[in-house]
Each structure stands twice: as structure tokens, then as C-alpha cells.
């Protein structure tokens, strides 16, 4: 598993495990360093362990084994309210009977800050999320997007060094969610606060994060920069979970340096980067991104084949073409919607190709 170096370990998970029943591990032997000022996203499907990790860091769950450190200090036995961590939840968790200003003032009151200091911090936090004129409103008088801005301001109002966000944009519609992704990203860049963000939305993770930890079955499958994660997946799970991906199953015939020669299940041979596959005789998955598949030979002599066009979906900036290639009828090409681009019709057979360097031989 690749792990890009970070600037010191502001948050450290050291051999952390979590089990609810004493038998099944929800999180398995987690070792993770998060740098000060970093935006790290924990990404994965439901039940993969990502939210449990966030809850252990927040103090709402207790690690079964291992140690969690914040700023060099163990926090396993420190209660949530004494960890000094800001939290943003999907359901906003605002107090309905308090005004917006009172909601923001609450975490300052429990820290015994003087009234004048509280008022100034509340004003600054509201301005930060462009909600300066809403201090006297109640949560029920706000839209979902406005409530999420207030929840974000409340997490930041006492100027924590660490903010945890658990699916904070999950309840918003697509357009507002995309707008808020950029707002949170820019806010993070401006404040320099450390953010640990949980989501199952891979496009959200790619948009916002400095690094992404992809979870499955309680284990980090890959920890990388967003572009590395998409361009260079280290196993078949990551390749399938991040973005759209074409899979062709086969058997390794041989390894030549960094390349594998693979016999596909229909008997044809293809060359690929040998990333995570065994020697000759091992089963493997070839992984190719749809946008890396070209119509025609395009100079990719090693990996030229034919496919039958099954479906064409117009998506504005590109046409999604689903084909049958080597027996896989879910093989996809993304054709740019440019004036000079070839037009296809359902039912025709066309030649397609891809570069060896864009094809990765992975595990099953």
C-alpha cells in the first residue's frame, strides 16, 4: 500500500483495531499518519470501517486495541468534549430551539469565554461561511444548504486544530453539494485547519482531498494523492471503486520486466503493466479506464481488438458507448463530443485499442 509522506504525524492511529462483539474486526490493525493542515478523506462503501475510524478519533467509540494520538498525546481515554475537535455531521445536529447565533455561541460558552469574545468569534465564523445576516434566525427557517453552513461555522467557531466531517453533504442536492465541496475546500485552504472527512462519494473525495484513504473490510486498501489513486490503482477493488473502470479477466502467461503478457478468457493475448499480479499461471484482472480506450488502432499495436456497439448514451460533453469486448458486455468507451469525432451506431463492429501503459494487471 503506497503512503505519500506527510508533514509529521499530527494525528496518528497506531495499530488500532475495533470490534463490537469481540470476534469480528470492523477496523483491522490501522496504522495511519495525518499531517497538520492536511485534508484527508476516508473513502469506502458502507460497512468498510471509515466512519468507525472517525468516531474513534472523535471519542464516540473506543478502540479495542492500539493507540490514537493527537498532537503527540494519547487520547484514547480522553472524553470527546475535552479533545478540542470540531465535528460536522450529515444531519447538521443544530439545536432547533436556539437561534443561529446561540448555536454558534454554545461551544464557546462551555469553554467559559467572555461574552464580548464570544460575540466577535460568532460574527467572524458567520462571515466565514457567508451567513453574516442570519444570527437571529432559527434552524427551521433555513434551507438545507444554509443549515449545513451553520453547522460548519459552529465546528470552526472555537478555532480547533482538527475538524472531523461525517458525510456532511449527503443530504444536499447535486448542484448544491458540488458548490459546498468547493466552499469547504477553499475554507480549508484559507484556515489551514486539519480536516478528516468521511464519504462514500468518490468524486467528492477526488475534488476535495490532499490525500485519500480507500477503506474496504476494515483495511486501508490504498492511501494516495487523488490523481495517483485514479491513475495508478494498486488493486482491483480500488480500480473498481474509484471512477469507472473496464475489467477483463485472464491468466498471466509470463512477466517481462514491468510488463505482463496475459491470455484472456476468450484466448486472445494482451500486454499490461504488471502491478499486482502473480507469475505465469496466476489469474489476473486487466484494468483500463474508459477514457483511455481509443477508436481504431491509434498506434497501440499490442492491444488492438474489436467490439460490438451495444448502447450509446448522449451525456453532453461526451457519448458513453457500451460495447461487448472479449466477452465483457459492460466494456465502456467515453467519446468526446467534438465536431471531428467519429459517429457510431448500435450494432456495428468497430476496432478499439489502448496503450500498454494504460492497462494494469491487478489481483482478482
Query: What confidence tier does 100 reach under pLDDT thresholds 50, 70, 90?
Result: very high
Nine-digit cell string for 290: 474508459
CA 266 to chain centre: 34
pLDDT in tens, 195-231: 999 999 999 999 999 999 999 999 999 999 999 999 9
Give 344's contacts (C-beta < 8 A, 6+ positions apart). 295, 309, 312, 319, 321, 335, 350
Q: Are 292 and 347 in contact (CB under 8 A)?
A: no
Of 43-47, 170-174, 312-316, give the lowest mean pLDDT range. Answer: 170-174
The per-residue pLDDT for 298 is: 66
State mean pLDDT over 163-183.
89
The per-residue pLDDT for 3 is: 47
DSSP string, 5-37: --SS-SEEEEEEEEESSSSSEEEEEEEEEE-TT
Q: Does position 5 have pLDDT exceeding 50, yes or no?
A: no
pLDDT in tens, 19-55: 999 889 999 999 999 999 999 999 999 999 999 999 9
Residue linked to cell 465502456: 332
**Which residue in 298, 341, 301 sits closest to 321, CA to CA?**
341
Q: How far is CA 203 from CA 2, 228, 239, in A?
A: 20, 14, 14
pTM above 0.85, yes or no: yes
Query: What confidence tier does 7 reach under pLDDT thresholds 50, 70, 90?
Result: low
Arithmetic mean of pLDDT over the chain: 92
Q: Does position 4 have pLDDT exceeding 50, yes or no?
A: no
Amino acid at each position: 500500500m503506497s503512503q505519500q509522506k506527510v508533514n509529521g504525524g499530527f494525528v496518528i492511529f497506531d495499530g488500532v483495531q475495533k470490534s463490537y462483539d469481540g470476534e469480528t474486526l470492523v477496523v483491522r490493525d490501522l496504522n495511519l499518519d495525518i499531517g497538520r493542515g492536511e485534508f484527508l478523506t476516508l473513502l469506502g462503501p458502507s460497512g468498510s470501517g471509515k466512519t468507525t475510524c472517525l468516531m474513534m478519533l472523535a471519542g464516540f467509540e473506543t478502540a479495542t486495541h492500539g493507540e490514537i494520538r493527537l498532537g503527540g498525546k494519547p487520547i484514547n481515554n480522553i472524553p470527546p468534549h475535552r479533545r478540542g475537535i470540531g465535528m460536522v455531521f450529515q444531519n447538521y445536529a443544530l439545536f432547533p430551539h436556539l437561534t443561529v447565533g446561540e448555536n454558534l455561541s454554545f461551544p464557546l460558552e462551555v469553554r467559559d469565554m467572555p461574552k464580548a469574545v464570544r460575540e466577535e468569534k460568532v460574527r467572524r465564523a458567520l462571515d466565514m461561511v457567508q451567513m453574516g445576516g442570519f444570527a437571529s434566525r432559527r434552524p427551521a427557517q433555513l434551507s438545507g444548504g444554509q443549515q449545513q453552513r451553520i453547522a460548519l461555522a459552529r465546528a470552526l467557531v472555537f478555532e480547533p486544530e482538527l475538524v472531523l466531517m461525517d458525510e456532511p453533504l449527503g443530504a444536499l442536492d447535486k448542484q448544491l453539494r458540488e458548490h459546498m465541496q468547493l466552499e469547504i475546500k477553499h475554507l480549508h485552504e484559507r484556515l489551514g485547519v486539519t480536516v478528516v472527512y468521511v464519504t462514500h462519494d468518490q468524486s467528492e473525495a477526488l475534488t476535495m482531498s490532499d490525500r485519500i484513504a480507500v477503506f474496504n473490510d476494515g483495511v486501508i486498501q490504498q492511501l494516495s494523492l487523488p490523481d495517483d489513486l485514479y491513475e495508478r490503482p494498486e488493486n482491483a477493488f480500488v480500480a473498481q471503486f474509484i471512477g469507472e473502470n473496464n475489467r477483463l479477466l485472464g491468466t498471466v502467461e509470463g512477466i517481462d520486466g514491468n510488463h505482463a503478457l496475459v491470455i484472456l478468457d476468450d484466448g486472445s493475448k494482451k500486454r499490461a503493466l504488471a502491478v499486482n499480479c502473480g507469475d505465469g499461471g496466476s489469474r489476473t484482472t486487466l484494468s483500463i479506464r474508459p477514457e483511455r480506450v481509443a477508436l481504431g488502432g491509434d498506434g497501440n499495436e499490442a492491444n488492438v481488438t474489436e467490439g460490438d456497439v451495444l448502447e450509446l448514451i448522449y451525456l453532453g460533453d461526451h457519448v458513453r458507448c457500451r460495447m461487448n469486448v472479449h466477452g465483457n458486455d459492460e466494456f465502456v468507451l467515453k467519446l468526446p463530443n467534438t465536431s471531428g469525432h467519429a459517429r457510431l451506431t448500435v450494432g456495428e463492429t468497430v476496432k478499439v485499442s489502448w496503450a500498454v501503459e494504460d492497462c494494469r494487471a491487478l489481483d482478482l
